[in-house]
Amino acid sequence: MTLFFQQWYGELLKLFARRRTYIGFGAFIALEILILLLIKKFGMGPIQKAIVGSGQSFEYYFSALTVASTIMGFAIFLLGALFLTLVAGDIVAKEGEDGHMRLLLARPVSRFRLLLLKYLTCSAYAFFLVQFFAWTSFLLGLILRGWGGGYFAIVPEVSVVAFYDWGPGLQRYALSSLYLGLSMTAVSSIAFFLSCFRIKPAAATIGALTYILVDFIMRNSGFMDNYQHLLVTKHMAVWGRILAENIDWPLIWRGYAVIFAVNVTLFTLGYAVFESRDLKS
Amino acid sequence: MALLEVRHLTKRWPTGRLALDDVGFEVREGEILGLLGHNGAGKSTIMGITLGMVRPDIGEVRIGGRSVQQNRGAALQQIGAIYEAAVFYDYLSGWQNLRVLCSLSGWWDEAEVKRVVQMVNLGRAIEQKTATYSHGMRQRLALAQALLPQPKILLLDEPTDGLDPEGIREFRELILHLRKHHGMTIMLNSHLLGEVEQMCDRCVILKDGKKVFEGPVPSQEKSRRIFQLDTNDIGLAREVLDRCGATMDKHGIVEVPLNMEPHELVTALVNGKVQVNTWQAHRRTLEDLYMGLSSKS
C-alpha cells in the first residue's frame, strides 16, 4: 500500500508541476471575481425575486453562502467540465504522444496499475478543483457580505428550494460541495476513457466536452423526458438533493451508484483499449 | 548462460506489414550484443516486445528464464532500458524524474541514486529542470534511469543517436565500464556500424524483419585468417588456391583454410608460378559483413 501511495505521489507531482494544471484554478478565480462584481453592481436579480416571493427577508438570506452558491451555479458545470476534461483528456494521450508512456512502461509496472494511478489522479483533481471552487466562492462571498445570515439554496435541476440559518446552511454547503466533487468525477472519467485511445489529447478533451454538452442539451430538450435515466448529467445533478430540507438518501445513493458504475465502466473500457495497444512510435 | 532469449518472434502490424519474421537469438550473460539493421528492419520492435510494450503475434522473450509475455512484472525486474528517444518530464528536475521512475520499480535508495548520477557525470545538473538539459545530458539521465535499480541487463535503443563525437565516445566508455566493472549484460540497438564494432562482442543483423546473421562481430574474430592478394595472374592464382582448398573473391580477399598456415599458401602460390605482388593480412570489418548481407536479395 505504501508503494501504491509513493507511485501515486509521483503522478500527483507530475500533475501539479505543470502550469496547465493551474489554468483551471486561475480561470475560476477570474470568473468568480467577475460574477461577484456583477452581483455587486446589478444585485441578485432572480435570486432576490425567489427569496422575496417566498416571503423571506432578502437582507437576511443575501449572505456569503447564497452568493457562493450562485457563483458556483453559474460556473461549475461548464467551466469545471472544461478544465476537468482538459486535464483528464491529457493524462494518458499526452504521455503516449510525448513518449513518456514508453519511459514509464520500461519499468516493471503493469499497465493496469499505471492507468489506475492516472485515473485516481484525475479523479482527485476533479474533487480538489470543485472544493477549490466551492471555498474560494465562499471566501469571495464573505468579502462581499461578511460572516452570518441565512442560506437560500436553489438547485432547479432537482427542484430543490430551501432556506437555512447560517450554521446548518454552512454544513449543507460543505456537504453538497463534497458530493458535487464526486459527481464531477464522471466528467473526468469520460475524458480519461477517450484519452486511452491512440488520439491527440485535444481530441479526447473535445470528445468528452461534446458528450457532456450533448447529454446536457438532451436532458433539457424535453425529448428525453422518458429516458432521463440514461443521461449522465441527470445522475450528476443528484448532489443538489443534499440541499433539500429532507435529504432523500436512498435517491442520492442510487444516483451515486450509477455514477460509480459509469466511472468503473469507463475505466475498464479505457483499460481494455490501452491494454490492447502496441506502444511504439 | 543466456540471460535473454528471443524466441521465434513474428509480428505483423495492423497495416499488414511484416515487422518480424520468426526472429530468434539469445544474449549471454556478460556480453554486449548489437542489434543491427536498416531503418524499419525490426530492431525497435524487438526492443518493444522485450519490454512488453509491443505484443508479438507468435513467439516470446524470456529474461532470466521468465517470459515477458506471461509474467512481465517479474521479467522486467532485471532490466534497465533506454527505449526510443530519451524523453523526460521537462517541468520536473532530473532528480524528480528519477524519483517518479524509480517509484514504478518499487525502489528508492538515495545513496545509490547519487552514486549513479555521479557515474553518468550529471553532477549538480540533476537538480535542474530537464527542460534546460542538452541532448547529451538527456542521454546521460536516460542511462542513469536505466541503471536504477541495478539491473542485470541493459537494453539500449540507439543510445548515441544525436550525440556529438565527444558524447559518443564518453557514452561508449561508460558502457564498456559497466560491462567490465559491473558485469552488465547489454543489448544494443544501433544502425551505427562503428559503434557496434567497437562495443559489441556479437551481433545480430536484421533485414526486412528477418535475421540474416548472428555471430561474433568481425573485429572480434580471432580464428579467421583473411588476406589480401595482389597479383596479375588472377586465373592462375585461383587455380592454385582451389587446389589448396582456399577461396578468393573478386577483390582478391583470400581465406586461408584451417589445415594450412598462411605462409604455406604463399609458398604454394609462388611454386605455382603466380606472381605475388603483395600479400597482406586483411581485417574484415563489420561494414564488409553488413554490406555483403545487405546486397544479397
Interface test with B, best of A90, A102, A121 (most B CBs within 10 A): A102
Residue A182: pLDDT band by 50, 70, 90 thresholds? Answer: very high
Q: What's the pLDDT score for residue A41?
A: 85
Give B177-183 contacts, CB < 8 A, sequence gap 24+.
Answer: B178/B147, B178/B154, B179/B30, B179/B32, B183/B29, B183/B30
Residue A86: pLDDT band by 50, 70, 90 thresholds? Answer: very high
**Between chains, do B55 and A278 touch, taking CB under 8 Å as contact?**
yes
Average pLDDT over residues A116-120: 97
Find the closest chain A residue to B145 by CA distance: A103
Measure CB to CB from residue B105 to each of A18, A103, A107 and give the nearest one: A107
Has residue B222 got a pLDDT over 70? no
Average pLDDT over residues A4-20: 91
Mean pLDDT over each residue of chain B, to the nearest integer: 90
CA distances from B257 to B247, B248, B286 (A): 8, 11, 21
Residue B84: pLDDT band by 50, 70, 90 thresholds? Answer: confident
Find the closest chain B residue to A106 by CA distance: B51
Contact list in A for residue B79 (CB cut-off 8 A) is: 106, 108
What domains are defined for chain B?
A: 2-217 (3.40.50.300), 226-295 (no CATH)
- State the cell numbers at A271: 483499460
The SS3 of residue A202 is: helix
Residue A70: pLDDT band by 50, 70, 90 thresholds? Answer: confident
* pTM of structure: 0.87
Per-residue pLDDT tens over the stretch B125-159: 999 999 999 998 999 999 999 999 889 999 999 88
Residue A122: pLDDT band by 50, 70, 90 thresholds? Answer: very high
CA distances from B113 to A131, B74, B181, B215 (A): 38, 22, 18, 36
- Count Cα neighbours of A171 within 13 Å in the Cβ-side half-sphere: 7
Has residue B297 got a pLDDT over 70? no
Least confident of B86-95, B116-125, B137-146, B190-199: B190-199
Q: What's the pLDDT score for residue B77?
A: 92
Q: Looking at chain B from residue 39 to 78, which residues have their Cβ under 8 Å from any Cβ of chain A?
A: 44-45, 48, 51-55, 72-77
User: Which DSSP state fits A147?
Assistant: S
Strand partners, B12: B18
Site of grid cell 533506454:
B82
Report ipTM (2 d.p.): 0.86
Find the closest chain A residue to B85 by CA distance: A99
Residue A27: pLDDT band by 50, 70, 90 thresholds? Answer: confident
Closest-CA distance, B10 to chain A, in angstroms, reads 14
**Between chains, do B103 and A7 touch, taking CB under 8 Å as contact?**
yes
Has residue B223 got a pLDDT over 60? no
Q: What's the pLDDT score for residue B220?
A: 65
Average pLDDT over residues A55-66: 91
Beta carbon pairs, A and B, within 8 Å: 90
Measure CB to CB from residue A108 to each of B53, B77, B89 and give the nearest one: B77
Per-residue pLDDT tens over the stretch B250-293: 888 888 887 888 888 999 999 999 999 999 887 778 887 888 77
Q: What's the pLDDT score for residue B289?
A: 81
Has residue A17 got a pLDDT over 70? yes
Q: What's the pLDDT score for residue B130?
A: 96
Contact list in B for residue A104 (CB cut-off 8 A) is: 101, 104
Measure CB to CB from residue A100 to each of B51, B76, B89 and give the nearest one: B89
Per-residue pLDDT tens over the stretch A134-171: 999 999 999 988 998 999 999 988 889 999 999 999 99
Query: CB of B27 within 8 A of CB of B187?
Result: yes
Q: What's the pLDDT score for residue B224?
A: 63
User: Which DSSP state fits B222?
Assistant: -
Residue B93: pLDDT band by 50, 70, 90 thresholds? Answer: very high
CA distances from B149 to A32, A62, B106 (A): 48, 60, 9
Residue A212: pLDDT band by 50, 70, 90 thresholds? Answer: very high
Has residue A77 got a pLDDT over 60? yes
Q: Touching check for B84 and chain A: CB below 8 Å?
A: yes
Q: What gap in Å lies between CA A193 and CA A191, rounded to an integer?
A: 5
Q: What's the pLDDT score for residue A97?
A: 92
Measure CB to CB from residue A103 to each of B96, B101, B106 and give the nearest one: B101
Q: At what angle do helices A111-145 and A81-91 cross, to 10 degrees?
A: 160
Average pLDDT over residues A211-226: 89
Q: What's the pLDDT score for residue B36?
A: 92
Query: CB of B191 within 8 A of CB of B37?
Result: yes
Q: Is B80 left (phi over 0), alpha (psi -120 to 50) or beta?
A: beta
Least confident of A164-168, B96-100, B162-166: B162-166
Domain locations in chain A as residue ranges = 2-275
Q: What's the pLDDT score for residue A42?
A: 84
Has residue B107 got a pLDDT over 70? yes
**Between chains, do B145 and A110 touch, taking CB under 8 Å as contact?**
no
**Between chains, do A17 and B89 touch, taking CB under 8 Å as contact?**
yes
Residue A224: pLDDT band by 50, 70, 90 thresholds? Answer: confident
